Every structure is written in C-alpha cells, then in structure tokens.
Amino acid sequence: MQTITTEELNKRLAAGEKINLLDVREPQENAAFNIGGILLPLGKIRMMDTTEIEDLKSEEIICYCRSGNRSGQACLLLESMGFNNVKNLTGGMLEWQEKF
C-alpha cells in the first residue's frame, strides 16, 4: 500500500491538481469536517459496494479517514478488488486539521 502525507496532498490541492479523494469515514464525521472527497464508508467497501467509484479503478485514489487506520484498511480492500493506484493519507483528518 502506498501512502501520501498531509503536506504532499495539501501542496497538490493548492496547485489545483485534480485528485480523486475518498472519505471512508461515517456520514456524521464527513458532515462535521471534510476536504471534499467522495463519501464511501469503510463498511460499504467491506461489503464490496464500490459502484460509486468503479470508474476510478485505474486512476489514483487517495483514501482518508480520521487517523489513517480505516483508510489503510480501505486501501488494502480496494487493491484486492482491482483498484491499482490507491494511497492512504497518513495521519488522516486529525493531522490535516492540526496542520492546516
């Protein structure tokens, strides 16, 4: 599994790069704070319900959650389903809010 730091992601977003962000937290967490990712909770990914992102199978997807744990699990699951360019945001939204 590949990873990306909050600093790297922030630089890419600030540069206006088109990035596929995937928020694997729960809806209430997303509503409280998010950075614009597609909301697809880890539970749905575990049930292999990835229809919302099937068209991104060959594109880079950066997964994030609260701390980086659930998004790491999501990355591994997505890789096993044929998504070939997924990255885990290390530190998650906790680190993002702390730094930016």
Separation in Å, CA 17 to CA 46, 49, 66, 82, 90: 29, 27, 23, 24, 19
| pLDDT digit string, tens, across residues 29-81 | 999 999 999 999 999 999 999 999 999 999 999 999 999 999 999 999 999 99
Q: Is residue 2 helix, strand or coil?
A: strand
pLDDT at 20: 98
pLDDT at 38: 97
| Tens digit of each residue's pLDDT (9 = 90 or more) over 15-33 | 999 999 999 999 999 999 9
Cite the active site residues.
65
Domains by residue range for the chain, with CATH: 2-99 (3.40.250.10)
Q: What is the pLDDT of residue 87?
A: 98
Residue 15: predicted pLDDT: 98
Q: What are phi and psi of 36, to 5 degrees?
A: 95, 15
